[in-house]
């Protein structure tokens, strides 16, 4: 593997000079490109593509790179690319993702994106193209002050992992139907410690959900949180086999957990507290099982189950008091 520095090709890093050509040259001439600590930040006026077995790594913690154009900042294609230790600075008025996973030319596999901080970007992580993503990993990522979605993945398969990610929004009240995390047409996606949080996290509009899963199967969620979102905390539409463990929906503008036309939804140790709707809603004919968690202080009530296959192992109280899931039985 060949290694070089963006400084070798003329990058300045003063926040004013255009460093795009230096980055493009470095990626063309080496497999591993290092970004030394800049005096201020690197400035890009066009997007960069990692087209397979390329690494772009910040030498300092969250090495700053500023996006000064509309469009995707970093595009990942093919296999085994690495983005690590980068602070991405965008402009919410300029459309385009901070990181775009492009499967137009074929499957995108084994890419590793880690230790990333994004601020003022339009979208955070987005994918697209006719093919699929396989075993890609997104880890240790913080997204602050986004205009649109934090994560939107529409073609991820075979254990794509999202781990230790925070999406903290400040949204315009006029922006509607913008879930923070969107997973669609997926099979085998795992989310671990993914949080949608923050004051007025994604705006006051009731259609702004925390997590939105649709037309997918084999979805795992562990220790994720939807806090202070405008709509439903966790929404599942036409999802088959969803496994939820130790997740929290709190202070959401609608229900904490809502399963619609989904089947084999299994929850263990999940909490829904202080939401404006119900703690848990399940409609449709599919099966659902929730055990070992807590529904408390939800303004719309504890739960609503629309299927004979829905089961809650619980004991509890009426009149708005909490329901503690303790063992066999139905609430």
Reading the chain (331 residues) residue by residue, the pLDDT tens digits are 799 999 999 999 999 999 999 999 999 999 999 999 998 999 999 999 999 999 999 998 999 999 999 999 999 999 999 999 999 998 877 888 999 999 998 999 999 999 999 998 888 999 998 899 999 999 999 998 777 788 999 989 888 999 999 998 655 544 555 778 999 999 999 999 999 985 444 444 455 789 999 999 999 999 999 998 888 999 999 999 999 999 999 999 889 999 999 999 999 999 999 999 999 999 888 899 888 888 889 998 888 887 767 777 653 333 343 444 333 333 3
pTM of the model: 0.91
CATH number at residue 26: 2.160.20.10
- Within 13 Å and on the Cβ side, how many CA atoms surround 235? 27
Q: Is residue 44 part of a domain?
A: yes
> Which of 39, 36, 82 is CA-nearest to residue 59?
36
Domain residue limits at 312? 3-324
Q: Is residue 330 part of a domain?
A: no
Q: Is residue 329 part of a domain?
A: no
Quote the number of domains for the chain: 1
Instruction: Look up tokens 């923070």; give the residue.
Output: 180
User: In sequence order, which residues have a C-beta less than 8 Å from that of residue 240 and are 6 or more positions away?
Assistant: 216, 217, 218, 262, 263, 264, 286
CA distance 123 to 182: 11
């Amino acid at each position: 593997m060949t290694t070089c520095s963006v400084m070798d090709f003329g990058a300045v890093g003063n926040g004013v000079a255009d460093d795009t050509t230096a980055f493009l040259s470095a990626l063309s001439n080496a497999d591993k490109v290092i970004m030394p600590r800049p005096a201020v930040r690197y400035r890009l006026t066009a997007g960069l593509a990692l087209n397979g077995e390329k690494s772009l790594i910040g030498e300092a913690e969250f090495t700053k790179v500023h996006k000064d154009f509309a469009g995707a900042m970093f595009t990942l294609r093919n296999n085994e690319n690495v983005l690590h230790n980068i602070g991405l600075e965008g402009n919410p008025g300029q459309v385009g993702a901070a990181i775009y996973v492009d499967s137009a030319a074929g499957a995108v596999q084994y890419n590793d994106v880690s230790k990333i901080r994004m601020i003022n970007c339009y979208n955070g992580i987005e994918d697209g193209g006719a093919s699929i993503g396989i075993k890609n990993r997104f880890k240790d990522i913080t997204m602050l002050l986004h205009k649109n979605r934090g994560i939107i993945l529409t073609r991820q398969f075979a254990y794509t992992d999202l781990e230790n990610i925070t999406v903290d929004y400040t949204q315009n009240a006029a922006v509607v139907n913008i879930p923070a995390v969107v997973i669609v047409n997926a099979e085998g996606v795992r989310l671990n410690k993914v949080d949608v949080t923050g004051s007025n996290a994604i705006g006051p509009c009731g259609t702004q959900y925390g997590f939105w899963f649709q037309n997918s199967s084999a979805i795992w969620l562990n220790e994720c949180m939807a806090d202070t979102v405008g709509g439903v905390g966790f929404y599942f539409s036409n999802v088959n086999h969803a496994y939820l463990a130790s997740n929290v929906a709190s202070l959401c503008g609608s229900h904490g957990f809502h399963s619609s036309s989904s089947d084999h939804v299994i929850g263990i140790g999940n909490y829904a507290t202080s939401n404006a709707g119900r703690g848990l809603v399940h409609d449709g004919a599919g099966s659902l099982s929730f055990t070992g968690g807590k529904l408390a202080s939800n303004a719309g009530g504890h739960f609503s189950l629309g299927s004979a296959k829905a089961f809650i192992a619980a004991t509890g109280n009426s009149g708005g008091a909490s329901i503690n899931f303790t063992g066999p039985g139905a609430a």
